[in-house]
Amino acid sequence: MVESEYCESGSGWRQRFLIVIVVISSVYLPCLGSELAPYLSSHQLTLIHEILAARNGSNPLGFESIRECYALVKFVPPLAMNVEGGLVNLDAMEKCYQKLIQPQIFSDLRSLYAPENESRVSITYGSFRANDEYDELGDLGFGLHLIRRLELPQSNGENKVVEVNEQWLQNPVDGGLFLPDEIRIKTLVFEGKRRVPGSESLYLFDSLKLGWGAENELTLARRTRSDFVRKYDARRKREIWTNEPKVMGVPVSSPFACINCHNGDIRRGKRFLAPGEIRDHESMIQASYRRLPLAETLGYRKYIAALERQNRRPEFIAQVKEALLHPELTLTLPQIVEKLSENTNTGNFLWLGSDLRLTPQQAEEQIGRRGVFGLGQPDTEDSHPAGAGHFRDAMEDEIFGSYIWWKPASYLPSSKR
């Protein structure tokens, strides 16, 4: 039994009740803040936390919750599931979670990207990784990680936090940056003690894939971590239903993988903590790091070092440096507010499958293309889960005409605005 106090969304009263749930980790059930999350209800919160508890493949969800999720994503369970222990479709659970939180997430994203809030948004560069480089701390993301953070004052004296990590891929041809192919989102929606161990659970996490057309027209897409498929089971000597992980260059989805990387104790987070600084357990990027001049951030320094290592022209590197120092002008996202407004309450997204593993011949032909990346350090403890090789991002196959009748161009530093 876990006793929790919820703030009923849209009202001024509180409701106390008991909820039976299997707790897998130290995640507790915090109070839903009506001011922080006007688009969520206490009933949705219960379902969200059950889904989060299932992220490790366990099955604490009750039958009614599973049925509600399946109805929400229009998934009809096969009869075989009744025979095979009531296996939960993790693909359907992630889609259910994403649909439940989408109105709140998109509302918060619109606030972060809204021109009227520009002066409230802080920007820093978390890290950089070229398409075929290996990160010594196991960061599986690519490109320049641009972190935008919006803090909005609340009536209780605290701030509502909305933060995104945008993945700006490097163009292997000229060394510039493509528009980001992914943004990962976290937004504060629950009330509770701030900045202490476990306080990352006060946030909801989400991720979106972005595709850009010939004129930088934007397409939004989503992806789940697993496919629900039939596979032959040698032990049972028959086909069974199973959750098969997708092949993904960056194995992040919403919500099952996001929160794992926002644990303040992991080694890759320590580089953002100043000596003697008290850790803010809600954030991987610490306050001292956010105050650094952009030219002193790890992402800026690693990107410039990569350009020098790649023997890019000095005048080009100078252009990049100048552009990176003014991200509010040079690293804006075209159409993002409009697209978020169009899709707030709909599920009309592209649902992406696995990234395509390229043959050696395909890799040789496509190595300079956007969305083509190398993975893996074979035979090491840091091997990528997809294995070594080259892959093409699934989003690239959804952007019609790319490399056929138009070629993606760098957005920074030289593309038209």
What DSSP string describes 290-314? HTS-GGGSHHHHHHHHHHHHTT--H
* Residues 6+ positions from 388 with CB-CB distance below 8 Å: 374, 375, 376, 377, 378
Q: Tell me, what amino acid is at 266? A: I
Domain assignment of residue 97, yes or no: yes
Domain assignment of residue 221, yes or no: yes
Domain assignment of residue 213, yes or no: yes
In this structure, the dihedral spanned by the alpha carbons of residues 231, 233, 234 and 237, taken in order and rounded to 10 degrees, is -110
Give the C-alpha separation, 347 to 224, whole Å.
14
pLDDT at residue number 142: 85
Q: Which long-range contacts (CB under 8 A, 24 or more apart) does 273-282 make?
A: 280/195, 281/195, 281/196, 281/197, 281/198, 281/199, 281/200, 282/161, 282/188, 282/194, 282/195, 282/199, 282/200, 282/202, 282/203
The answer to whether the pTM exceeds 0.75 is yes
* Residues 6+ positions from 220 with CB-CB distance below 8 Å: 208, 209, 210, 211, 339, 340, 343, 349, 350
Question: Residue 235: left (phi > 0), alpha (psi -120 to 50), or beta?
Answer: alpha
Checking DSSP bridges between strand 389-392 and strand 372-375, what pairing results, if any?
Answer: antiparallel
Dihedral over Cα of 393, 95, 340, 104: its sign: negative
- What are the distances in angstroms from CA 86 to CA 51, 176, 233? 15, 49, 17
Domain assignment of residue 408, yes or no: no
Give the C-alpha separation, 222 to 99, whole Å.
11
Which of helix, strand or coil describes residue 52? helix
Domain assignment of residue 152, yes or no: yes
The number of distinct structural domains making up the chain is 1
Angle at 67 between CA 65 and CA 73, to 5 degrees: 105
- Two structure tokens written together for 300: 């800026």
69 neighbors 43 (Cβ within 8 angstroms): no
DSSP state of 415: S
Q: Which residue, chain included where needed, has tokens 């209780």?
A: 156
Q: What are phi and psi of 343, to 5 degrees?
A: -110, 10
Domain assignment of residue 288, yes or no: yes
- What are the distances in angstroms from CA 409 to CA 29, 303, 415? 46, 18, 7
- Radius of gyration, CA atoms only, the chain: 22
Give the C-alpha separation, 225 to 228, whole Å.
10
Give the C-alpha separation, 235 to 60, whole Å.
26
Which pLDDT tens digits describe the chain residue by residue (417 residues)?
233 333 433 333 223 222 222 233 334 456 777 889 999 988 898 888 888 776 655 556 777 888 898 898 888 887 656 555 667 788 888 899 999 999 999 999 999 999 999 999 999 999 999 876 766 655 667 899 999 999 999 998 999 999 999 999 999 899 999 999 999 999 999 888 999 988 888 889 999 999 999 999 999 999 998 899 989 989 989 888 888 999 887 777 777 545 566 555 566 678 899 999 999 988 889 999 999 999 999 999 999 999 999 999 999 999 999 999 999 999 999 999 999 998 777 667 789 999 998 999 998 899 889 998 887 654 444 444 445 788 899 999 889 899 999 999 999 996 544
Give the C-alpha separation, 110 to 3, whole Å.
34
Q: What are phi and psi of 48, to 5 degrees?
A: -60, -45
Q: In sequence order, what are the beta bridge partners of 204?
A: 187
Domain assignment of residue 272, yes or no: yes
pLDDT at residue number 388: 73
Burial per residue of 42-76, b for 16 or more beta-carbon CB atoms within 10 angstroms, e otherwise: bebbbbbbbbbbbbeeeebbeeebbebbbebbebe
Range of the domain at 194: 2-398
Domain assignment of residue 211, yes or no: yes
